[in-house]
Every structure is written in C-alpha cells, then in structure tokens.
Amino acid sequence: MSDLKKIARNIYNRVFDLIFENKYREILNMKLSKDITETDDSVFYVISCEKMPFQGMFGYVDLILAMILYAIKHNMIPVIDMKNFPNTYLEDNEVGKIDAWELFFKPIAKTSIDEVYASKKYVIGNHMDIDWNNRATLQGVHNRQKGAFWSTMYCYFVRLSDEANRYCDSEYRRLLQEKEMKTLGVLIRGTDIKNSKGHAIQPEVQQVVRKIHEILEKDSSFEYIYLATEEFKNERIFREEFPGRIIVNDRTYYDNVDYSKGLSYVKTETEHDRYHRGMQYLSSVRLLSRCGGLVAGQCGGAFAAYYWNNGKYRYSYFWELGTV
C-alpha cells in the first residue's frame, strides 16, 4: 500500500471513529433486531456443523457469523445446530443430547433447534454458502466501518452463556481486574496452525519478543503481559524474557501431544475434556479482549478478541506474513 493510501485510510478511520461510529452501530443494532424477528411464517436457516471439518472455537464462530449474515440477507432466521452431529466440543456420548454452542454462548434464535425440526419451515445451510471475502477477519482491523460492523455482529450474536460468563468473569477478577489498561495482551499460536493450509503464517516466538520490547520502549504504561498460547515452551521463554510481568490463565498445553490432524481432533482420557479445554480457551480470548493492547498473529481467537474489544485497544498489531 502506498503512503498516500495509508494516510487516506488513517484519516477516514479517524473521522469515522469520531463522528459516525456510534450512529452506525445504533443503526446496525436496529436493523439486526428487525431482520431476525421471528413470525409464524419465518423460514429458518439451520447452521449445522454436519459438513464442517472440526474447528477451533473461533473457527466455528467465524463461519457461523458469516452464515448468519447469509441468512439475514436471504430473509431467513438463523438457528444453530451443534447438537446432532459430532463437533470439536462434544464428547462422543453427548452427540444428539447437548448443543455445543449453548455450552459457551447464548442461542441466537428464540426457537430451539428441536422445535425448528419438529414444526417449522427450514433450510439446511452449508458453510460454503458464505461470502468468503466478507468475514470477521483482518479487513475490519484496517477499515473502521467494517470493524464496527463485525464488532456489532459479535456483540449481538456471540454472547456468553451464563455458565461461561461466570467462569470468564472469575478468571478476569483473579488475573486482570484493576490492571487491564496496564496489560498488553499477546496471542501466540503454534502447534497445528503452523502447517495448516490456508491459514495465516504465524510469527516465530522471537519475532514476538522483539516486537514486545519495541512496544514497551514506546509505552511504559504496559506493566504486564497477558500471554495466550497453547505451547508451554512459549510461556517459559516469556517468563525468562519478561520476569515478573507474565500473566497466564489455566490452560492445557500441547507441546508433547500428537496434533498432526489438528488440535480439534486431540483426545484425552479426562472427563468432559473437550468442554474444559473450550472454556479455558474462551476465557483466554475474553481476557485478551479486556487488555489495553493486543499483539497477535492472525487467527480466530485474535480476531474475536479484537471485535469483542470493539477495536478500542490503545495499541494493536497483527502480523501479516502471508498464508501457509
């Protein structure tokens, strides 16, 4: 991007922030409320994970939000079915009994999926229906109007379940309360994403370390670093590099696990392991969203933190290194 284009983009983003953003969000909320009003004649668009490959939590969220947008544009009511087919967050004996979405988030439709199948008009959706060029990814980081749109979608549809809210709030009070603005959130993805075709190339840990030193030199008000990572070696490096400043939540690490098929396919013998791992990850992303700054490679969790934060970080940085 040329310097002139960067200057023009920055001016546009600043003007949008100062003058238009609140009104734009208000209009979006009113439109969403109107567009998903359920009536006796409503046709439901079933967002099923039947044909989706296993995803991380925010891989699902990314696709689901894009499918919600598709439903709304086609005058249908979106409803999620993460109950009747295997997915990352259900144990084998829970399929057909528990809706994995509702373990972590509130339902997006008033009518339950069972009621839809029993007595409503519905269409089975497909994740290939979506507009792959219009998703809650990097474009909303660069463009404030798109950022406001996807932040509004997150706030409207990706709302924590009561249980998840209690868990995340407890972790927040334990780890971050009263030092949010003094904390730089850092997300380092490793393991399976490094070799997953189509995913963004992630920075090496030493690249991240150098970037953080650069930030701390410019902004001394960052006293703490909240580290979100699934590799214990990264935590060890950070504690050595930034002694006394590292905050982490309770996490499962995967340094010595066979994740060749992907973390979503990893199984352990722990009871309700998938649920507990999901709750740990959700808590980690929520903590990132409440920090004063964010530094991350491009991945679902990093974008979720950004949009839940409404893009209001004092400082934010995403690596743009191409794709695997």
Q: What is the pLDDT of residues 102-146, one digit of tens each?
A: 999 999 999 999 999 999 999 999 999 999 989 999 999 998 889
Do residue 8 and residue 138 come from a single domain?
Answer: yes
- The answer to whether 98 and 90 have CB atoms below 8 angstroms apart is yes
Domain boundary among 116, 135, 156: 156
Q: Quickly count: other Cβ atoms within 10 Å of residue 314's Cβ.
A: 13
The alpha-helical segments, DSSP class H, found in 120-247 are 139-142, 144-157, 162-175, 205-218, 232-241
Do residue 274 and residue 294 come from a single domain?
Answer: yes
Do residue 145 and residue 192 come from a single domain?
Answer: no
Do residue 8 and residue 99 come from a single domain?
Answer: yes
Q: What is the pLDDT of residues 262-272, one digit of tens each?
A: 444 445 556 56
Residue 324 forms part of a structural domain: no
Domain boundary among 130, 156, 182: 156
pLDDT at 157: 96
Per cent of the chain over pLDDT 90 is 69
Label residue 5 by pLDDT band (50, 70, 90): low
Q: What is the pLDDT of residues 149-175, one digit of tens each?
A: 999 999 999 999 999 999 999 999 999
Do residue 58 and residue 131 come from a single domain?
Answer: yes
pLDDT at 9: 64
Do residue 96 and residue 168 come from a single domain?
Answer: no
Do residue 172 and residue 84 come from a single domain?
Answer: no
Q: What is the pLDDT of residues 70-113, one digit of tens each?
A: 999 999 999 999 999 999 999 999 999 999 999 999 999 999 99
Domain boundary among 141, 156, 171: 156
Averaged pLDDT, 275-289: 95
Do residue 181 and residue 243 come from a single domain?
Answer: yes
**What are the two backbone dihedrals, phi and then psi, of residue 45, each rounded to the nearest 5 degrees?**
-105, 110
Residue 323 forms part of a structural domain: no
Do residue 172 and residue 147 come from a single domain?
Answer: no
* Domain around 79: 3-156
Do residue 46 and residue 118 come from a single domain?
Answer: yes
Find where tokens 């972590």 sit. 104
Do residue 176 and residue 303 come from a single domain?
Answer: yes
pLDDT at 265: 46
Note the pTM of the prediction, 2 decimals: 0.87
